[in-house]
Amino acid sequence: MTFKSGFVTIIGRPNVGKSTLMNEVVGQKIAIMSDKPQTTRNKIQSVYTENDFQIVFIDTPGIHKPKHKLGDYMLKAAKDTLGEVDAILFVVDDSTIIGPGDAFIMEELKEIDTPVILVMNKIDKMNQEQFNKLYEAYKAKGNFADIVGISALERANLDVLINKIVEFLPVGPQYFPADMITDQPERLIVAEIIREKILHYIHEEVPHGVAVETAMMKKREGKDIIDIHATIYCEKKSHKGIIIGKQGRKLKGVGKSAREDIEKLLGSKVYLELWVKIKEDWRNNQNTLKTLGYE
């Protein structure tokens, strides 16, 4: 039996479903998801292994025009990977036309030799006519190695997509153990889950100025409990108030919902303590970005 393996990067506008796709393929929450753009800030690798192949997925921050240093970093993280992988999954959603965002990405892709599979996501929200129209529009405008319609959320056609990806993989070694699904340290996933809940519970501009750091994570002596302390950094005093909420209600909601997800991730009871601190302008501070893992 010949074993195939390779690297695949997932690109696309914010909110088209890249993180959802990666999580559903590997069957666990590795990248956080939300209905807000700029949810994913790092390159995240996850691994999907079968008997005769292994795919390493790289989820990237959405490609968009940067507004601050963190934005610069995010765009670079997305573009750097394109030339180095075996295939690119370019994910689009149920928009009725090819918008300027997708056109921008298709321009960027023209300079790269890597085969591009167009993934038309969210087919659960499209009727056949809408799908066909969009399909023809993309086919006419782009140079794709293949086009697949899927619903990441409903896990529709994911097997078809996987088979297509395997076609583009070279014969190669099993890079990672079969049971490994991500290169992300648990501390980082924990922090990201907390950030996901902040994105979910807190509206407007506040979450975009938030960073989360897992300060401590330790199994309690003789007990089946993991104690976790995490710090939520925000940019302003007013933001701190919003995050904590009246009588601490917001923060409690964030903590409860994060704890439930973290317990699933770690397979253990969790005691989660959250602190909110102000760190002005951290998004433009190189050192802080480094400390928080954005490097």
Question: Which residues here bind ligand GDP, judged by CB under 6 A?
Answer: 12, 14-20, 33-35, 39-40, 62, 121-122, 124-125, 151-153
| Count of residues near K ion by CB under 5 A | 2
Place of tokens 């302390």: 229
CA–CA–CA angle 186, 191, 192 (5° rounding):
95
- Nearest Cα to Cα of residue 119 among 223, 17, 229: 17
Question: Are 276 and 251 a contacting pair, CB within 8 Å?
Answer: yes
- Nearest Cα to Cα of residue 61 among 113, 101, 112, 19: 19
Flag whether 19 is marked binding: yes
Flag whether 132 is marked binding: no
- Other beta carbons less than 10 A from residue 127's beta carbon: 9
Nearer to ligand GDP, 37 or 115 (CB): 37
The span from the CA of 74 to the CA of 71, in Å, is 5
> Could you tell me how far CA 175 lies from the centroid of its own chain?
21
Flag whether 14 is marked binding: yes
Q: Is 19 in the site for Mg ion (CB under 5 A)?
A: yes
Identify which range of 32-40, 117-125, 226-234, 260-268 contacts Mg ion by CB under 5 A. Answer: 32-40
Q: Is 45 in the site for Mg ion (CB under 5 A)?
A: no
Nearer to Mg ion, 16 or 274 (CB): 16
Question: Are 262 and 228 a contacting pair, CB within 8 Å?
Answer: yes
> CA torsion 41→79→67→37, rounded to 10°?
-50
The identity of residue 166, as a single letter, is V
Whole-Å CA distances, 151 to 22, 42, 96: 12, 24, 16
Nearer to ligand GDP, 158 or 166 (CB): 158
**Partner touching 20 among K ion, ligand GDP, Mg ion, none, CB below 5 to 8 Å by kind:** ligand GDP
Q: Is 291 in the site for K ion (CB under 5 A)?
A: no
Nearer to ligand GDP, 9 or 20 (CB): 20
Flag whether 17 is marked binding: yes
29 to 58: interface string for K ion, x by CB under 5 A: ----------x-------------------
Flag whether 12 is marked binding: yes
Angle, in degrees to the nearest 10, between helices 158-167 and 18-26:
90
Flag whether 124 is marked binding: yes
* Nearest residue relative to ligand GDP (C-beta): 17
> Which DSSP string do the residues of 237-256 spell out, in sequence order?
HHHHHHHH-GGGHHHHHHHH
**Partner touching 125 among Mg ion, ligand GDP, K ion, none, CB below 5 to 8 Å by kind:** ligand GDP
Nearer to Mg ion, 57 or 144 (CB): 57
Identify which range of 37-45, 161-169, 257-265, 274-282 contacts Mg ion by CB under 5 A. Answer: 37-45
Positions that interact with Mg ion (CB under 5 A): 18-19, 39-40
Binding site members for GTP: 12-19, 59-63, 121-124
